[in-house]
Structure 1
Amino acid sequence: MRFLKILGLLLLALAISGGGYFAYRLYKPKAALPAGIIGSNGRIEANETDLAVKFAGRLTEVAVQEGDMVQAGAIVAKIDTADLDAALRAAEANVRQTEKAQAEADAQIAQRKSELTLADQELDRALALIAKGNVSQQRVDQARNQRRTAAAALDAARSRQDAAKEAIAAARAEAERLRVQIADGTLKAPVTGRVLYRLAEPGEVLAAGGKVVTLLDLSNVYMTLFLPTQEAGALAMGAEGRIVLDALPGRAIPATVSFVSARAQFTPRQVETQRERDRMMYRIKIRVPETLVQQYIEYVKTGLTGMGYVKLAPQAAWPEWLQSDLTKPQ
């Protein structure tokens, strides 16, 4: 019995010492950062894109599930466009009808031109004959009147031709509008990303602007940091950065400073003392290269926490534990 107690105490001591060693290895502090480099905690983020319908309608299909990866241009959902299809057929018939009206107007213009030419010839003959005294003035007046009538008829035909052209343009524009609206009934992914939320199901009637899915734009993956005034003021756009995730503690992901806020966060109402000025924080974004994101796109997840590091001085050298990245073997 005593032996069992001693054995139990030994096992308990080994467990405590092993757990302590493991905790030390897991939580032991990193080596101090060299001058010109600063770090701050943050989390991985990406832009969210809501894919919504442009016009009211019944949802007939949703082709993706939450968590699916979709490429830019892929079909995500469809809206019932039966009414629009019928309206388009009517609009196309109207286009054909107005084109026929223009053809008739063109033919009338040709006819009226011929009549005007004949009236000009008749008037010239009448003027020539009256100069010789072979016809009366009444005959000349009749020729002049016929010429004016033919010219007026030609002007009217040209007006009908212009009206027909305008009608064709309006009919074609209406048909094109309907084609665009029908095309908008097929919702396509504007970016390559992952489906974050599926917000509607087939059969639902959505109002204009109704959201169907939310996509995470994985072409722009970044970590948001907050740095004090002094460090943020010395940070340059495009400066080198590193990201170390809690889920991948042995890897440093290369990044670049893509955004430095022009406005301080957590600013006191009245900034009077040095201590209060030190409390002013600026939001920073360090972006992961898109090529690297595409290489590991199946593993990219937002919300992962970790540490972000940036170079305040370009000549500063990364310490050894920040020189590795995902392009190198572990």
Structure 2
Amino acid sequence: MTLKRLLIAVALLAILGTGAAYGWRAMQGNRLPAGFASGNGRIEANEIDIATKYAARVLTIPVEEGDLVEAGAVIATLDTRDLEAQLRSAEAQLRQTRRAREEATALVAQRVSEADFAAKEMERALILFGKGHVAEQRVDQARNSRRTADAALEAAKSHLASAEEAIAAAAGDVDRLADLVADGVLKAPRKARVLYRLSEPGEVLAAGGKAATLLDLSNVYMTVFLPTDTAGNLALGAEARILLDAVPDTAIPATVTFVAPRAQFTPKQVETKSERDRMMFRVKARVPEALVTRYIERVKTGLTGMAYVKLDDKAVWPDWLESKLTRETTSPPQNPPSPPRGEGRGEGDALRDFAENAARSDQASVIPQSTPRSPLTLSPSPGGRGNIPAGERS
């Protein structure tokens, strides 16, 4: 009986020892090496508020929350009948001012002709007065007629200038009202996803009232907070990796695009390894736009996870922070094609070709061909993430 108990105890100790060794190896394998830093955060994107410039009633909102819209897509239309009536009135006023300009132009031409005639009459009167054929009174009359004609010409020119200014003012009113009518159609400024539908047809929005909120998916990033000593060693443009809690086995490539110029108190949702890390720097790790575009239908904001940043350019990413996505973004350029066999190639070249082809065949038979679903729901990468230490994930 004693021997049986001894054997059971030895077996239990062996099982516990094997489990402890396996767990220790797993933790060591997924431990973040030197030259890297991490922080927890959530996927974010810039929000775009689609708002009105003036108070108006909403006619239609053809989009729903979650819809993916292209640049220029109609988000909402407003009731602009009052503005359209004002626009028609302004266009009629513009036509009237143009006719007034035509009349003023004709009047200027008439006054020019009258001024020329008065000038010639004065010249003839002066000649006749010099020869003694007319009295001085005739010269005074001709001089007065010329002055009157010149004054009338200046008045006609001033009237023409006023007509030109009236046309400019009327045209400005037309342009302003036309812009207001056009602003009654609220459009997406860029490709985005509808985050919130904030109004319904029939509602009256005040000036600046929001009809919807869009997410700019051209700038998807994760915001993390790093302590001073870490942020000081972080360079803009440094490589980063994102592991989402929803997809813990697939590393998403990213780039550090922003480091705050000032430290701030640590937000409540941020986990720190030390209570002394009260002042933190905000850091953005942006996902490549090409990758977001490829999986645009599956991109979601608000997903939590961990962001890992490289502090040392010479540091090598651990296997659990590599995936097919990261290898695609950092894959080296392909070698130029080799010359055909028999053209300046010897027996040694042929042997090297045979060895390279054999190696490629072996590698292709070992590596599984899998297609990732999306950067947010992707197939696990070889090696997986495993159990990440509690201090390195949210």
Partner of 1:271: none
Taking the aligned partners of 2:278 and 2:84, their CA distance within structure 1 comes to 61
Q: Deviation of residue 315 (structure 1)?
A: 1.6
Counterpart residue number, 1:38: 37
Matches within 5 A, 1:302-313: 302-313=301-312
- Tell me the alpha carbon deviations over residues 217-272 of structure 1, each in whole angstroms, 9 at most, x when there is no partner: 111110011111111110011111011111112211110101111121227xxxxx
CA RMSD for the aligned pairs?
1.9
Count of residues paired in the alignment:
300
Instruction: List alignment gaps of at least 5 residues for structure 1.
Output: 1-16, 268-274
2:213 is the alignment partner of 1:214: yes
Give distance in 2, aligned partners of 1:183 and 1:326. 43
Of 40-49 and 103-112, the range deviating more from structure 2: 40-49
Match of 2:105 in 1: 106
Higher mean displacement: 190-199 or 204-213? 190-199
Q: Mapping of 1:273-312 within 5 angstroms?
A: 278-312=277-311
Which residue of structure 2 lines up, in the alignment, with residue 11 of structure 1?
Answer: none
Aligned 8 A contact 1:245 1:306 in 2: yes
1:263 is the counterpart of 2:256: no
Contact 1:254–1:325 (8 Å) recurs in 2: no
Structure 1 residue 47: Cα displacement: 1.1
Cα distance in structure 1, aligned partners of 2:185 and 2:289:
28
Distance 1:277 1:101 in 2: 79
The answer for the alignment partner of 1:225 in structure 2 is: 224
Residue in 2 that maps onto 1:14: none
* Counterparts of 2:76 and 2:124, CA distance in 1: 75
Structure 2 stretches lacking a partner, 5+ long: 1-14, 267-273, 329-370, 372-378, 380-394
Partner secondary structure for residue 193 of structure 2: strand
Determine the C-alpha separation between the residues in 2 that align with 1:266 and 1:102.
68
Preserved CA contact (<8 Å) 1:109 1:157: yes
Q: Alignment partner of 1:84: what SS?
A: helix
User: 1:253–1:325: 8 Å Cα contact kept in structure 2?
Assistant: no
For 2:231 and 2:204, locate their aligned partners in 1 and report how far apart those are by CA, in whole Å: 49
CA distance in 2, matches of 1:321, 1:82: 61
Equivalences for 1:164-175 in 2 at 5 Å?
A: 164-175=163-174
Shift in Å, 1:34: 2.1
Q: For 1:1-330, what aligned pairs fall within 5 Å after superposition?
A: 29=27, 31-266=30-265, 278-326=277-325, 329=371, 330=379
Deviation, structure 1 residue 277: 6.0
Q: Which amino acid aligns with 1:157?
A: A
- Quote the offset at 1:202 in angstroms: 0.2
Task: Give the Å deviation of 1:172.
Answer: 0.1
CA distance in structure 2 between the aligned counterparts of 1:96 and 1:160, rounded to whole angstroms: 17
* Aligned amino acid, residue 227 of structure 1: L
Once the two structures are TM-superposed, the CA of residue 326 in structure 1 deviates from its matched residue by 3.2
Deviations 1:76-100 (A, max 9, x none): 1000011111111111111110001
Q: Displacement of 1:323 after TM fit?
A: 2.1
Matched to 1:207, the amino acid is A
Note the C-alpha offset of 1:276: 7.6
Counterpart for residue 354 of structure 2: none
What SS is found at the alignment partner of 1:118?
helix
Higher strand share: 1
After superposition, what is the alpha-carbon deviation per residue over 1:162-206, rounded to whole angstroms, capped at 9, x for unaligned? Answer: 000000000000000000000100000122211111110000111
Per-residue CA shift, 1:105-132, capped at 9, x if unaligned? 1101100000010001100000000000
Alpha carbons of structure 1 residues 277 and 128: separation in structure 2 relative to 1, 3 Å:
farther
- Mapped partners of 1:297, 1:177: distance in 2: 38
Closer, same or farther in 2 for the Cα pair 1:325/1:39, shift >3 Å? farther
Shift of 1:312: 0.5
For 2:155 and 2:113, the matched residues in 1 are separated by 14
Deviations 1:53-106 (A, max 9, x none): 111011000010111111121111000011111111111111110001011111
TM-score normalised over the length of structure 2 = 0.73
